[in-house]
Amino acid sequence: MTELWFHNDESRWKVYILIEGKNNHNWWLWVTRSPHVVYFTISSTRSASVPIEHFASLQAAKVILVCDRYGAYKKLARLNICIILAFCWVHVRRDFKNLDISYPHLGQWGNTWVQEIGTLYYINKQRLAHWQKELPLDQQNEQFNKEHILLQNQLALMNERCSQLLKHWHGLIVFVDHPEVPMDNNGGEQAIRGPVVGRKNFSGSGSLESAELTAMMYTQLQTVIQWGLNPDHWTQEYLEACAAAGGTAPADLTPFLPWEMSEERRQHLAKPPPARMDSI
């Protein structure tokens, strides 16, 4: 809750239990990804109540949430004045790309917009190549400023030519004044891709406890991977610490939290685990 920007996404998850007031097994796996943590939670609902509860304890006055245009996130931003929504350009691109499926006569027009969005990505990539992260926007170098102006001009032309973008325009241009924020929600979608593939293979969870354990394990292991650590090595050392503590979690978790580790320990845990004599 100390982070300044996040990705968010959600996907279906089956939990094969019966609860009062719910007539099916459809649950939802939600993911919130920040620069330091990938966090999963399981919920029986896809409503705005889930992100509202999750982000209730934000510590910064303003944070940016990169997401798609799902209504739950819009409600979240209305109720939590700390949150600025940054909408995903990949989703806009998909809309134009898919036009020729439902409206073949608009296919060529849609492909033109796919190319326009590609140009936008290219200009932003050129801009970020000259971005000095430690400096504010108004103190950037000349080359960054040049690309920044090109980006603004490209967006102005796109805004004039497509009224369909106007409804979400404010959220689509957040990345302009916040170069640290990605143009799309690929970070969130990539985080939840593994669970989605898994869901197709093993369908879901047989109990609420196993679903919650699944969310916790995805949280731990994807956070470890995000920091460039070897999940086998991290897990082995953690379980050995549990064994040394008499089969309970170690009292001090600092050695296992990537953002608390020394650089030397991070490099150590980034390597494969050493071979164990009892496994040879």
Mean pLDDT score, 218-242: 96
Average pLDDT, the chain: 94
DSSP string of 103-160, one letter each residue = -GGGHHHHHHHHHHHHHHHHHHHHHHTT--TTS-GGG--HHHHHHHHHHHHHHHHHHH
Rounded to 10 deg, the angle between the 142-161 and 107-128 helix axes is 160
For 187-202, the pLDDT digits (tens) are: 999 999 999 998 888 8
For strands 5-15 and 204-205, give the pairing: parallel
Closest Cα partner for 80 from 181, 169, 8? 8
Q: What is the pLDDT of residue 199?
A: 86
Instruction: Check residues 166 and 159 and name the one with the higher pLDDT.
Output: 159
Determine whether domain 1-88+185-226 maps to CATH 3.30.420: yes
71 — pLDDT class (breaks 50, 70, 90): very high
Domain locations in the chain? 1-88+185-226, 228-271
